[in-house]
Structure 1
Amino acid sequence: MKILLQHIAFIAFLIFTASGFAQNDTKKGYNIQGEEVTFIFNLKDYPNIENNDEEVNDVFVSGEFNNWAKDQWRMDKVNDSIYTLKKDLSEFTSDFDWEFKFIVNSVHWAEPSRQFENIANAKSGDIWFHGIYNLKLYSAFATDYGNVSFKLKGYKDAKKVVLSGTFNRWDETGFKMKPTEDGWEVTLQLRPDIYQYKFIVDGNWITDPRNPSKVENEYDGYNSVIDVQKNVTFRLCKFPDAENVILSADFNDWSEHDFKMKKINGCWVYNQKLSGGKYHYKFIVDGKWITDPANTVKEYDYDGNINSVCMVK
C-alpha cells in the first residue's frame, strides 16, 4: 500500500533561501515563509477531483512525515477551491527527502494536471506513474544576515553565477549570486559542518580561486571545502574554590594543560569553536578528572571511561 501511495505522491522542491526560509521559485502545492511551510491545495489544479461530481468535504496532507496517514493532517478550507495547512519546519527532519500527496474525502488521491512545471514521471515494474515529485528539505538558506559569505572576484561579463554544494545537494539553481563591484556574492545561513562547493559561471563549474582547501571529486576534478564552525561555551558552575580547572576533550587530544578555564561570575568558562559533530570532554579540577555535572548525556569511550558528550549542530 505504501508503495502505491508513494507512486501517486505529491512531491515538491523546498529550498531554504532568502527572507528567513523563503523560497526562490514558488511551485504548486506549498509555500515557505518564516519558519513555517504552508501546504496549498487548489481544487482547480486537480482535474481528476474537480471533474468528479462528489462534494469535497475535507482535504488532508499525507506523506512519509506522518506515515501516510489519511486523516491526521487536515487542511483548513479557505474558499470553495483553496485549502491550506501550516506546519512548523521543526516537524521535518533537516536535509531529508520527503514524499507527500493530497487526499480528498479520505479516498481520492489528488493527481496534478500535466501543466505543472515541477512534474516528473516514475516507473515501477512495467507501469509508468505521472505526477511524481520529490520534496527536499535543506537546512541551508540564503539571507543577508547569514553566517557565511561566498565571494567570487571577477567574471563581470558573466550572465549568471550560481553557488552549488553539499549544503543543497549540488542543486544548480537554488543559490543565485548577486553582482558586486568586484565580482559576485551570496550569503548563506549554514549549520556547523564541513561542506564541499563550487561556483557555476554561465554553466561552467569552477572551484573557489580564493580558497586553497580542496578535495578530489568523482569526476577527476576538485571541489572547494569550507569548515563552518560554531562557538561553544563550556561552563562549570561548581568548585568555586578550585585553583585550576582544565577543559580536556577529544578535540584537543585530551590535553591536560592547554585549555585553562577562566572564572567568570562564579563559573569556570572556556569558549571553543567547533565543527558540527559529536565530541567527548571532561573537566580537570585541581588534578581530578570529572564529567560535566550539568550535562546528563554521557558515553563510554573505547577504553571504558565515561565522558560527557557535546553535540554541535
Structure 2
Amino acid sequence: MKPFVCFSLLFMTLMFNSLVTQAQLDPDKVCHIENGQLIFTLNLKWSEKEKKEVSKLFDLDSTLIAQVYSGKSVIVSGNETWKVKKIQGTLVELSKSVQSKADKSIRMNDLLLVVENWMNFAGNTASTTTVYGINNFEVANAFTYSQNKALFYLPANKTAQRVYISGTFNNWSTTQTPMKMMGNGWMVELKLNPGKYAYKFIVDGRWTTDPSNKLRERGDAGAYNSVVYCYNHVFELKGHKDARKVVVTGNFYGWNPRGFPMQPTADGWSLPMYLRDGTYAYKFLVDNEWMTDPANPAVRKDADGNLNSFIGIGESYLFKLDGYTTAKKVVLTGSFNAWDEVELVMDKTPKGWQFPYVIAAGNYEYKFIVDGKWMIDPANPFITGSGNFQNSFIALKANHIFELNKYPDARTVILAGSFNNWNEDGYKMVKEGGKWIWPIYLQPGKYTYKFIVDGTWILDPADKLYDQNEYGTNNSVLWVEPSN
C-alpha cells in the first residue's frame, strides 16, 4: 500500500463514514505522523469488532492487524515493512515510513494537508482533570502569558520555510496556526483561557517538541508532546524578606510539606500557577514554619481543628436547605470535600440555610448535617444508593442527559455503566414528563451502560451503538466528544 494511496483512501473512507465511525471509534487516538513515520496505536484488548472497524476506517489489511495481535515485531506486507513496538500496558505501535523508496516525490507537507481533516489526530484532548500546574522553561521568553494572550517562541530554525504550532488549543490542526519569523526565531500569539495545553511545533513538515520546555507527557497516540500551563492564580506573601525559603502547599498538592518554592519579589514572595476550578485549602511554610495567608480573611478549620486559608477558583454553586430555621448548626458535606463533617458550616438565612461553594465540573454526592443528623437534600430528586445509605447527587455543568422514553409505569429505573462501576444501586433515574432522565458530566471518551427497569437489565432502545460483553447480552455505547 503506497503512502499516497493510503492517505487518499483514508481521507475518502473517513469522510464517507464519518457519521457511522466517529461514534464507534476515535480515530484521533489511533493514527498520527511523527518523524517521517506513519504510526498506528493499537490496543491488544480490542474486540474483533473493533479490529475490523480499525481495518475499515484506515484501509489496513486485516491480515496485517492479525499478525500484530499474534505477537510479531516485524511484518512484511507486500512491498512494505512494518514494525511493532509495545509502548505501555496493552498498547502497541505499528509503524512504517511514510516516504517509501518507490515514491520519493511524496513530501511530509503534502501528507499533512490530507490529514488536516482528522481533528486532534496527534495527541491529547484538552484537560479538565489536571488540578494544578507550573511551567518549566529553560528559556525565559520561550512562553509568556498575560490577559489571556499566550506567546510561543521557537528559537533558531532560521533556514526553515514553514513553521506551524499544533496542539489541543486548535484540535491538533496541522495548518491552522502558522508562526512568523521574528528576529532569531519563530513566534505566534494565541488567545487562550487558563488551563493545561499539549502542543508541538511542525518545522517544514516534521513534528518536534518544544526544545525550551522541560514538561512533556505521552499523548493519547503514544508520542510525547510538550505541555504548557496558562496561569489563573498568583500566591503572594508580603514581607518575610529575610527568610531563606518560602513554599506554598495545600490540598491541591496533598499537603506535601515540600510544597512549591516561591520566588522573592521586591516586597515579599510570589508564585504564579494554574489551578483547576474548585475550592482549595492552603498554607505557607516560611523556613519550615506553617502559617495561614495574612492577606486572606477566608480561614476555616479542617477536620483535625487546624486553621487553613481558602481560595475559590471559578464560579460558585449555591447549596440551599430551606426550613430548619430552629437548627443551631447545619454543615454541608460531600465527595467534593472528602465528606468532612466540620469544615463547611452553612450560613443562616430567613428561609433556611445556604453555602456558596466553588467546585469544578463533575459529578458529586452530598448531604446536610443538621444538628448532628445526616440527611439528603429534600429539594433534589436525584439520589444515589439505597436504604439508609442514600446521598443526594448533582452534576455540575452536565454535558449529557440519559433518557428512557419507554416504561412510564415502571416503579424504578437505575442507570448503571462504566462511569459508575456498574453500580446497581447507583443512579436512580427520575421520571419527568413521562420519561426517565439522569443528567451527568462525562469526560470525552467512550462509555458503556444499561438501564435496570424494575430489576431487569435492558439496552437503551434509542441507542443503536452497542458492544459485546462477557455475558453475551451486549452493552449500549455512548461517545462523548471534546467540547470546542
TM-score exceeds 0.5: no
**TM tier, shorter chain?**
0.3 to 0.5
TM-score (norm 2): 0.30
Q: Which has the higher Rg, Structure 1 or Structure 2?
A: 2
TM-score when normalising by structure 1: 0.41
Q: Greater helix percent: which structure?
A: 2
